[in-house]
Every structure is written in structure tokens, then in C-alpha cells.
Amino acid sequence: MSLKEHFHRLKKKMRPKTYVDKIVDKAIHLNADSKKVIVFPETDVIILKACSAILKRKIAIPLIIGKKAELDVTLDRLRIRNLSDPYILDHLDEKNKAQFESFVTEFYDMRKKDGKEISLDEARVLISKPQYYGAMLVYKSVADGMISGINSETKPYNPAFQIIKTKSGVPKASGMMIMEREHELLFFADIALNINPTAEELAAIALTSATTVSELGTEPKIAMLSFSTRDSAKHEMVEKVKLATKLAKEKSPELIIDGEIQLDAAIVPEVALKKCKDSVLHGKANVLIFPDLNSGNIGYKLVQRLGGFKALGPIMQGLNKPINDLSRGASVEDVVELAAITVLQMQQ
């Protein structure tokens, strides 16, 4: 280890643990109890370096889908020594033909059951894509989760929606971002998937977010955001948020949730006193549910870029098993942290 590396590690050890550090610790603990396998259907340098760190730090067991001979050359060039045979799966290798063909048939049957007419050849083309094959490995419980999407061609959405599917009672998967700045912690949803959710879908996003936040070890206090608080404005967009709040409350009466509510009334106690004295949130919401993808996606980027918060995610939520999407600009540390979150999602 170089002197620079040594001091970097020492500095990291000495600073107080962040929320993300604690997530990593929990993942290590869970992985020690029973090994958690995460499929990586991409072989970019960032992914390989992250997989090496994930294995070294005992966060999970990576399973990389790729051509072994090519990967061996790259790993050698990168001087990565801990990702040998058992961590690499060449899904198109002749030796793997039986499993490949069984996945093709199973996927074909699955699509047929879902009312989608595809041919066996079309199923074969899809299953030959590593992100589809990876989702089948998760579906068949060979692996426990998957992380993909550092490239636009390997985004995991369709394999996740078509193979893993949403949990019963969850109409749509959604995306959550963890926002952290020193001791401040907020969860934003949906910032990734649903462009203009209906009131029913918005209610489901709130309920699914409550589950994710609880799984990560925090009590959710949910604000259903709008440009109106307690009927201060009248518009169909406000009505949608009001209805979504009512539906979420009906489904989960024990939840701490309020809406429709403006952002300031949701997170600033003094403003809450003025605008909604009776709010169960008391201006201390930690889960912000945005009315549509415009506000959600723009909102988290404002907080990240102008507010100096670290954005971690997006976490794909509402699926039967954890499949997560990587931002195309993800760093090695981003991948490692998302792997830890993926392990925590396996507790369901």
C-alpha cells in the first residue's frame, strides 16, 4: 500500500461514520451470516474494480457475466487477483448450454403466460443478453440480486419488469435516491421511473418507499409533495396528490404521512407551524414523494448540485427481488455502495 493510500484510509477511519458507511457495515454483517450473490452483467473497468472491492470487503459475492478469456486479460492488466473462476460466468459457453436453453424455454413460457407472443428464437436473442440472463439467475435463486446499467444497452429495467416483476399489490416499480449531507438524511422518490404516475401509482410509490426506508433501518416520515398545502391552491395536480395520500393512509393507517404539502411545510418546523399546525410530520419529513418525474428528478439534482448533498442510488424498489440500475457516470465507490444497499434489500 502506498503512503498516500495509507493516509487516505487512516483519514476515512478517523472521521465519524456516515449513513452510507453504516449501510456497508450492515451488508458485511448480513453477508457473513449467509453469502449474498450479486450478478454483474457488465465488464467495464469500473465494474471489475468494484467487484474486486466488494469481494475484498466481504460485502457480497460478485458473479460477473462475461467471456472468461477476455476477462482474464483485463483482470491481469488491472492487477486484480481476487476475481478468478468461480466469480465469472460465460453464459454463452458451450459448457453452459443446458442452463442457457432451459432459461430460454422458461422465459418464453413466462412471456406467453403474460399474454406476450414471442417466438423461441426471440426469447433466445433476449436471454443471450447478459442483463436478461442475469435476471434469470436471480429469478431462479442462483443469485440474490443484480446490478447493471453503467451502459445504456445493459439497463436492467425490462429484465426486471418482465422476469422479476413487481411484488403483489405494487403496480409499478419506482426509484429512490438517498440524499445525505453530514447528519442530514432524506429519501426522494420517484426520481427515476414513473413519468406521470396516477394517484393510485403515487400512493403505491409512497408505501413502497416506506418499506425501503424501514429496510434501511430508518423510520419513514412521508411528505406527499405539492405546490399546495391544505387546499391553498386548487388544481387537478393538487387533487391527484390529495387522493394519493388518502389511498396510502387507507392501505397503511399506521404510517406517518401527510399531504398534499409544500416542501417548506414538510421539512421546516417553523413553516409547518404556520401552514399546517396539525401535521403529523411537524416539519420533520424524511421521505419526500414527488408528484411526477419532472419534479423528482430535477429536485434531487438541485439538492445534490446546489445543496451539496451526496446522492446515493437510485434504488429500484417494489420488485420481488433486488435489481438495481447504475447511473452511467457511476464511480467504483458508487457501485460498491449500491451493492451494499442491494444486500440490505435482500432481507425482504
Nearer to ligand COA, 157 or 232 (CB): 157
Which span (51-59, 157-165, 223-231, 236-244) binds ligand COA, by CB under 6 A? 157-165
Among 162, 211, 232, 320, binds ligand COA (CB under 6 A): 162
Least distance (Å) between residue 195 CB and ligand COA: 5
Among 43, 52, 154, 166, binds ligand COA (CB under 6 A): 166
Nearer to ligand COA, 33 or 114 (CB): 114
Which span (127-135, 145-153, 158-166, 256-264) binds ligand COA, by CB under 6 A? 158-166
172 is a site residue for ligand COA (CB under 6 A): yes
Least distance (Å) between residue 11 CB and ligand COA: 32
Q: How far is CA 232 from the centre of its chain?
A: 34
Least distance (Å) between residue 175 CB and ligand COA: 7
Nearer to ligand COA, 172 or 240 (CB): 172
Which span (19-27, 77-85, 155-163, 277-285) binds ligand COA, by CB under 6 A? 155-163
Least distance (Å) between residue 295 CB and ligand COA: 12
Which span (47-55, 79-87, 153-161, 217-225) binds ligand COA, by CB under 6 A? 153-161
Site for ligand COA in 299-338 (CB under 6 A): none
Cβ distance 280 to 224 under 8 Å?
no
Binding mask 175-214 for ligand COA (x = CB under 6 A): -----------------xxxx-------------------
Least distance (Å) between residue 188 CB and ligand COA: 12
Q: Find all residues with CB under 8 Å of 280, minimum gap 6, and list them.
A: 221, 256, 257, 258
Phi, psi of 81 (to 5 degrees): -105, -10
Angle at 253 between CA 248 and CA 257, to 5 degrees: 60
Binding mask 279-298 for ligand COA (x = CB under 6 A): ------------------x-
Size of the site for ligand COA (CB under 6 A): 14
Interacting residues toward ligand COA by CB under 6 A: 114, 116, 157-158, 161-162, 166, 172-173, 192-195, 297
